[in-house]
Structure 1
Amino acid sequence: MSVSVVAFIHTYARDGELGSYMEELVKGFESCGVNLHLIITNHLVPNLGSTRYKASISEDKVIQYINDVNPSFLFTTNRGGITKRIMQETSCPIITWMVDRIPFLHHGGGHESLFCERDHVITSSYKNVARLEKIYPILKGRVYYKPFATNIESFTSIHSDVQDINISFVGTYFYAGQFTKILEYYQDCPEVYYGLLRISEKIEDNYDLDIEEAVRECGVQRVLEDFSLDIFKFKGLIANVVSLNKRVHCLEAVSDLGLQLYGTPNWVKVNQFSLPLLRCFKAFEFIKTREQLVSLYQRSKIAINISHHQADAGLPYRIFDIMASNALLITEYHEDSDLFRLFGKDMPVPMYSSAQELRDLCSYYLNNENERKALVKRCNDLVSRGFSFKDRVRDFVDIVGERTPEIFTPRIQVDARKLFQRSEPIVVSSTFLFRIYCAMLRNLWLPLPEPARKRISYHLPVSLKQWLRKWIR
């Protein structure tokens, strides 16, 4: 019996294409013979932080498509693309893989209505199981811990005899600007300003604190109202600041040991904090494809993991890629790290508790090649079984009580922007109103620089874009 899945998978890539990890996940579905109907979540919503579909997307058509396919289950990353009506008007199980800690709220409501009785949630952090069941009581007994995956074959097929990179790191320069704006806004309000400092310290000490209680204790309730912030997004933006601080301090400590830094273009902002680290940033060598990532790790002697603060003791997918490669993984220490849970207390990965300790470990293993290689071999062996994308997809299928066929079935790439396009045109009811709309739009549109127009146009319905081109000169 065939297994069909309608999958809503998101991307953070600027070009709208799936990143290398999500592409490997899709291949995992294919390798299990799953009939995959792939929808890029970004095509449905104005942006991933939105609470509803684009005006140009017909929710009716999305629901009709799902019911026509009649899938074994819906699959979504971070809860992307799932609306209240999808929960109400479809009948199959829904599996959400929380690849980040904070879900998307595309259903248009709050966290209390985010899930339903048909939901199953996968988290790749063991501690997060209890947390999710506490926040979403409806999920009790249906939250599962499954670690991230890697593609072992990609590392065996791309072998590098030359390891000419001492240390590599691939990661995001987290956006911290909103917290800065909030602090600036309350510079004439000491009680709120110092309350923000207190709550940032609490979150830095313990990400899994009761955020509602902390907001009350620190007296910063008005911040949520003044900036229209969801309480979990508020915690997340402070966690971004904590994470950025940690990354900058740790990476700067090894910046003179041959570090090569890859990541988002906004790493150039690190010039404000560390010129040595800026000089390590490979501004014109963006790691986009799986082949580029594998090649980098195969050429690296050491690859560092500095997780986002919200990951806590959990393991990002970077961990498993590095463990499968020629590079020695060095990661931060947590007493209850999932590395110990998966591989035992004597697992071979070196761990640091401070920037200085990271520097000491890197220096030691760069000067002791045989010891480095021995640890790499042990790590390779640990992830050789049970950590493939095919293993994870089988886990998903098992959860809903299905069995994967042995026959390969290619994916069906759904062009959401065409298939789910609304058919109703935008109608202006009278000549008088039409002239008013034209005047208003000219005043708003014409002063905008061309790059801003392009960014805004991306989120507009096709019919409105055509109307603008015709009438707004």
Structure 2
Amino acid sequence: MANIVVTHFSGLLVNGKYRTSVFYEGFINSLLENGNNVLHVITSNYLLRPWNGSNTTISPEIGQLVLEEIINFNPDLVISFNNSSIEGIEDAVDCPIALWEADTFQFFNDKDYVKRNADRYHFLAFASDAIEVYKRELGISDNRVRRVPAATGVKSTKEEKRYNISFIGNTFSASPTVFKYLAQHPSVRDLDTSVFSDAQVSQYCETLKTLSGLDGHAILFRKSGQDRLSICHRLFEHGLHLFGPDDWYRLGMLGDDILDAYDPRVVYSLHHNQLIYNRSKVSLNINHAQASTGFAWRVIDILASDSALLTTPSSDLKALCGDKVSLQVFNSVAEADDLAGKLLKDNSLREDVIAQQNELVEMNFRWKHRFPIISEFTGVELNAGPEKGTYKEVLVEPTANVVSQAVQEIYRGITAVHKAGRIVNTKRGLQARGEVSIGARHRFLIFILQVYAALRAFLRRIRVVSRTVNFCKSAVHFIWPNLVVLVRNARMKSTENSAKEYE
């Protein structure tokens, strides 16, 4: 029975809590079912920039608390998606650390640190082209990276068919400032980047960011949103239903079809996704432009359900399926329209496709098929046995001790400020008393007393300043992380989806 730490970013904020998406939930459930204990870290709770950012925590104390949880768990393996993890974990544990590309390497946290310390990690790749990216970016050899294709925890069940076609996903729509920049710079808009390598894409995006001040990836990958929208528009006439974040409402200006098709209920869990796919005759996948050979995780979820997959092309998917499944692949909006019509009209065709899909998943797309690859690569056995493992999610907050210390520092600081006023008055009083009591005949003594009083006041002020500086440092140490948390929570609240969950 192995102890596995799983860390990942989440953008799914529901009712004040970051949630785990269907992919991670299925992966973790399979680890548990195969006899492993899992400690789960959703890094969005602790990092300021948990995606394509840094593993620096919102405060040193928070980072230490999370690391203590990990150390006490005594892990045999850490699996970190996109290297969204906790700073210092590399030194805190002596077990293997596997970095797995949830997106691509260019969206990892702390990429420079990973490059400098590549020998500390094992690298896992979903897509075939990701292996070459790792080798090129990190200078690692073949024995430091393994390809582990996606798998799923979704199961096929017979449900009442409520939707002709369903799509669960984002709009990937760029902001108006991106399109304004493209309108002003048609040479950027017309450039064919499909022939670029990942390294060239990264350099190009950096150049765009320098020139425009905008996110280079948003400019480069804008067509993902445009393609997604054009395909969905064509499929509305076939009864397409949309699920995902409420960004879809922003596209309502393009027509009421989107408003009618979009279901605002919250969808994130394995249960939600499984229900929607099993209630759909056809389920749609539209890959993002960054997936040059790979495919979205939803593809395997759909293959495992009681719904026919309708998808954009992927060389990896074609290679994995071979001739075992009659994949319904479209290369244009017109082809998507044609295939959707055929699948909806021909029940026999649709049922045959679904049966082929389900058989393939049970043969090759469950996590039990992937664990031997990871075990052989890392030396940690993941198919441990029939006894189910234990699960814990890391949830830590600042301790009362730290609050108490900060309050004491604040009190001492206020006292020091009060003393500063008394010191000034004392000095003035001393000078006044000296002049009165000693008189003009002893001006030299008066001068000595004045110097003494000034020096004494100066030294006291130095101590007060030092005390005040220490107070300010302590106050900043306490207040800053909490202010960051408050700002983060306010930002989270503004983007939180408080709609009813799908059922």
TM-score by length of 2: 0.74
The alpha-carbon distance between structure 1 residues 269 and 57, as it changes in their structure 2 partners (threshold 3 A), is farther
**Alpha-carbon shift at residue 340 of structure 1 (Å):** 2.0
In structure 2, what is the equivalent of residue 224 of structure 1? 210
Distance verdict in 2 for CA 1:45–1:297, change over 3 Å: same
Q: 1:274-293 residue pairs with structure 2 within 5 A?
A: 274-283=255-264, 285-293=265-273
- 1:330 aligns with one of 310, 321, 326: 310
1:357 to 306, 312, 335: 335
Task: Tell whether 2:5 aligns with 1:13.
Answer: no
Secondary structure of the residue that 2:281 maps to in structure 1? strand
Report the Cα distance in structure 2 between the residues aligned to 1:13 and 1:421, rounded to whole angstroms. 31
Give 1:235 shift.
4.6
Match for residue 166 of structure 1 among 154, 164, 177: 164
**Aligned partner letter, 1:387:** F
Query: Which residue, 405, 414, 421 being the options, matches 2:384?
Result: 405
SS at match of 1:11: coil
Pairwise CA distance, 1:125: 0.9
**Aligned-pair Cα RMSD in Å:** 3.4
CA distance in 2, matches of 1:327, 1:456: 37
SS in 1 for 2:118: coil
Structure 2 CA distance, aligned partners of 1:75 and 1:209?
Answer: 25
Q: How far apart, in 1, do the equivalents of 2:366 and 2:271 lie?
A: 17
Alignment partner, residue 423 of structure 2: none
Matches for 1:151-300 after TM superposition, within 5 Å = 151=153, 154-155=155-156, 158-160=157-159, 162-177=160-175, 180-182=176-178, 184=180, 193-194=185-186, 196-198=188-190, 201-203=191-193, 206=196, 208=198, 210-211=200-201, 214=204, 221=207, 223-224=209-210, 227=213, 234-283=215-264, 285-300=265-280
Change (3 A) 1:361 1:184: closer
CA 1:279–1:209 in structure 2 vs 1: closer, same or farther (change >3 Å)?
farther
Change (3 A) 1:342 1:114: farther
1:384 aligns with 2:384: no
Question: What amino acid is the match of 1:54?
Answer: I
What is the alpha-carbon distance in structure 2 between the residues aligned to residue 181 and residue 318 of structure 1? 30
| Partner of residue 147 from structure 1, selected from 149, 162, 171 | 149
CA shift in 2, pair 1:458/1:338, >3 Å: same
C-alpha distance in 2 between matches for 1:48 and 1:366: 41
Quote the residue 1:33 is aligned against: 35
Cα 1:401–1:275 change in 2 (3 A) is: same
State the distance in 2 between where 1:54 and 1:212 align. Answer: 28
2:490 matches 1:455: yes
In structure 1, give the amino acid aligned to 2:200: D
CA contact (8 A) 1:325 1:380 kept: yes
Q: 1:71 aligns with which of 71, 75, 86?
A: 75
SS of the aligned residue for 1:304 comes to: strand
For 2:332 and 2:401, locate their aligned partners in 1 and report how far apart those are by CA, in whole Å.
52
* Counterpart residue number, 2:462: none
Q: For 2:492 and 2:359, how far apart are their aligned partners in 1?
A: 50
Letter in 2 for 1:352: F
Deviation at 1:119, TM superposition (A): 1.0
Spell out, residue by residue over 1:406-443, the C-alpha distance to the aligned partner (whole angstroms, 9 max, x if none): 13221133223358996763855844679x99xxx9xx
How does 1:127-142 map onto structure 2 within 5 Å?
127-138=129-140, 140-142=142-144
Which secondary structure state, in structure 2, belongs to the residue aligned with residue 148 of structure 1?
coil
Indicate whether 1:92 and 2:95 are aligned.
Answer: yes
Does structure 2 conserve the Cα–Cα contact (< 8 Å) formed by 1:304 and 1:329? Answer: yes
Return closer, same or farther for 1:114/1:302 CA change in 2, 3 Å cut-off.
farther
1:328/1:422 Cα in 2 relative to 1: closer, same or farther (>3 Å)? farther
Deviation at 1:286, TM superposition (A): 2.7
Structure 1 runs not aligned, ≥5 long: 442-450, 460-473
Q: CA–CA distance in 1 between the matches of 2:46 and 2:2?
A: 24
Cα deviation 1:33-60 (Å, max 9, x = unaligned): 1122222211221242442211264434
Change (3 A) 1:333 1:87: same
Relative distance call for 1:305 and 1:10 in structure 2 (3 A) is same
> What is the CA deviation profile of residues 52-102 of structure 1, one whole-angstrom value per residue up to 9, with x for unaligned ones?
21126443444444444332111112211143x322443221012222225
Alignment of 1:42-121 (within 5 A): 42-49=44-51, 50-51=53-54, 52-55=56-59, 57-83=61-87, 85-102=88-105, 105-107=108-110, 110=112, 113=115, 116-121=118-123
The answer to whether the 8 Å contact 1:57/1:420 transfers is no
| In structure 1, distance between residues paired with 2:235 and 2:492 | 43
SS in 2 for 1:48: coil
SS of 2:79 mapped into structure 1 = strand
Which stretch has the larger CA shift, 60-69 or 392-401? 60-69
Deviation at 1:279, TM superposition (A): 2.4
Does the aligned pair in 2 maintain the 1:31–1:390 contact within 8 Å?
no
Return closer, same or farther for 1:422/1:10 CA change in 2, 3 Å cut-off.
farther
In 2, distance between residues paired with 1:82 and 1:367? 51
- Going from structure 1 to structure 2, the CA distance change for 1:420 and 1:241 (only over 3 Å counts) comes to farther
Unaligned regions of 5+ residues in structure 2, if any? 418-467, 477-485, 495-503
Q: Which has the larger radius of gyration?
A: 2
C-alpha separation in 1, matches of 2:244 and 2:366: 24
Q: Percent identity?
A: 20
Q: Partners in 2 of 1:420 and 1:321 — Cα distance?
A: 44
Task: Tell me how far apart the structure 2 counterparts of residues 263 and 101 of structure 1 sit (CA, whole Å).
Answer: 22
Secondary structure of the equivalent of 1:312?
coil
> What secondary structure does 1:399 align onto?
helix
Indicate the structure with greater helix content: 2
Alignment match of 1:309 (pick from 289, 308, 332): 289
SS at match of 1:408: coil
What are the residue-to-residue correspondences of 1:432-443 with 2, within 5 Å?
Answer: none
Quote the Cα distance in structure 2 between the aligned partners of 1:453 and 1:25. Answer: 28
Bigger Cα displacement from structure 2, 65-74 vs 23-32: 65-74
Amino acid at match of 1:259: L
Between stretches 12-21 and 341-350, larger displacement belongs to 341-350
Q: Quote the offset at 1:195 in angstroms.
A: 5.0
